[in-house]
């Protein structure tokens, strides 16, 4: 009898070990590029449908991105050059930034979504990242427009080339994100006075990895930095969540557009064209930021685009503010707050539209 009881005890212990092991394994299933604090977005308090549209009279052939600052509309062309127009009359003011291998030229033009814009002594300054050469360039937009000649100089040469993200945090500090560990991770850190320093708040994101040889764009994100709010915003191009965090480490949050976070393990098991394309554009403003939400698999998006995109606006704590639909396809947007107009552009069709945005601004 004692042997039976003893054997039964061993059996129960064995079963408990298995159950505990299964529980631990289940809780760790899936790989997510997110923080511990996750909020699932179920809706937006405001929704707008903008139906009346206008066509701005600008040369939008070969256009890639748009940016609105002060009374300027900046158009980034495919080659990397910038055409700058005045608002609201859309008078061409000048074209700048040349491609080439010269000391003040770019082998690949600086992307508008990797530019840090600042005001210095009432001048609009753009800090540009040189992708191939690994340096930051200082472009005085105001003086260039005034003199009709490009006012451009090298600002910082001790930056890594081929960085996926770039932001100027202060006069001698930069945020960068680059590939690491044989292209299985994307690592975020800062460079201060030319020296690399870790960014502890981003450890959870940095540790996320994919299989060696897999498409590293699974971990790619659109990134922006708001110095006013001390917030980094990262919107992955193939995941359904947005990560928001502060450089000083006081804030870190993930907002998810769906019932569950995108599982990177499952994504890697999918055929490339069946993977989701979520966010096409990220634009930061003073009090909130916005994304272009695509939410369509790559194959459908590239061949026929069945779903119409929308603009989703959030505050810097991740609170959903507004969902905006236009009834048209577009890949990027920006807002002219002075004239209260919304601009959208579609890189696939070259369609460039303008909408009255007064009602939306009044309710934000």
Which residues have a Cβ under 8 Å from the Cβ of 150 and sit 6 or more positions away? 96, 97, 98, 104, 139, 144
Strands 252-256 and 38-40: parallel
C-alpha–C-alpha distance, residues 267 and 259, integer Å: 16
Average pLDDT, the chain: 90
Residue 60: pLDDT band (50, 70, 90) is confident
* Percentage of residues in the chain having pLDDT higher than 90: 79
What pLDDT does residue 1 have?
A: 45
Of 49, 39, 126, 43, nearest to 82 by C-alpha is: 126
Residue 29: pLDDT band (50, 70, 90) is low
pLDDT tens, position by position, 61-120: 888 999 999 899 999 988 789 999 999 999 999 999 988 888 888 887 788 888 999 999
Beta carbons of 145 and 84 less than 8 angstroms apart: yes
Instruction: Output the six-digit token pair for 281.
Output: 């554009």
Of 49, 66, 44, nearest to 327 by C-alpha is: 49
């Amino acid at each position: 009898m004692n042997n039976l009881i003893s054997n039964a005890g061993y059996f129960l212990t064995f079963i408990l070990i298995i159950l505990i092991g299964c529980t631990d394994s289940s809780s760790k299933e899936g790989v997510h590029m997110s923080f511990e604090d996750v909020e699932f977005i179920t809706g937006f308090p405001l929704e707008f449908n903008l139906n009346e549209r206008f066509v701005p009279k600008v040369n939008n052939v070969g256009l890639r991105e748009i940016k609105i600052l002060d009374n300027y509309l900046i158009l980034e062309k495919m080659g990397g050059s910038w055409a700058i127009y005045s608002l609201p009359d859309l008078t061409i003011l000048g074209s700048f930034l040349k491609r080439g291998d010269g000391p003040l030229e770019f082998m690949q033009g600086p992307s508008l979504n990797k530019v840090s814009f600042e005001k210095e002594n009432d001048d609009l300054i753009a800090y540009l990242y040189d992708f191939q050469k690994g340096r930051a360039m200082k472009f005085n937009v105001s003086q260039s427009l005034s003199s009709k000649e490009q006012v451009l100089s090298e600002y910082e040469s001790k930056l890594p080339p081929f960085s996926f993200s770039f932001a100027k945090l202060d006069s001698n500090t930069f945020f960068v994100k680059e590939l690491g560990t044989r292209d299985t991770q994307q690592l975020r850190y800062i460079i201060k006075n030319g020296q690399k320093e870790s960014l502890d708040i981003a450890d959870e994101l940095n540790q996320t990895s994919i299989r060696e040889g897999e498409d590293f764009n699974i971990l790619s994100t659109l990134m922006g930095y708001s110095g006013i709010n001390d917030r980094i915003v990262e919107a992955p191009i193939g995941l359904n969540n947005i990560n928001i965090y502060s450089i000083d480490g006081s804030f870190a949050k993930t907002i998810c557009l769906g019932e569950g976070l995108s599982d990177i393990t499952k994504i890697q098991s999918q055929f490339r064209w069946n993977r989701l394309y979520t966010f096409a554009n990220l634009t930061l403003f003073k009090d909130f930021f916005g994304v272009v939400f695509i939410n369509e698999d790559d194959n459908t998006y590239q061949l026929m685009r069945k779903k119409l995109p929308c603009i989703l606006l959030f505050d810097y704590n991740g609170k959903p503010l507004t969902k905006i639909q236009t009834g048209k396809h577009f890949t990027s947007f920006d807002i002219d707050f002075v004239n209260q107009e919304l601009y959208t552009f579609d890189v696939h069709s070259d369609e460039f539209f303008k909408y009255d945005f007064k009602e939306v601004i009044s309710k934000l």
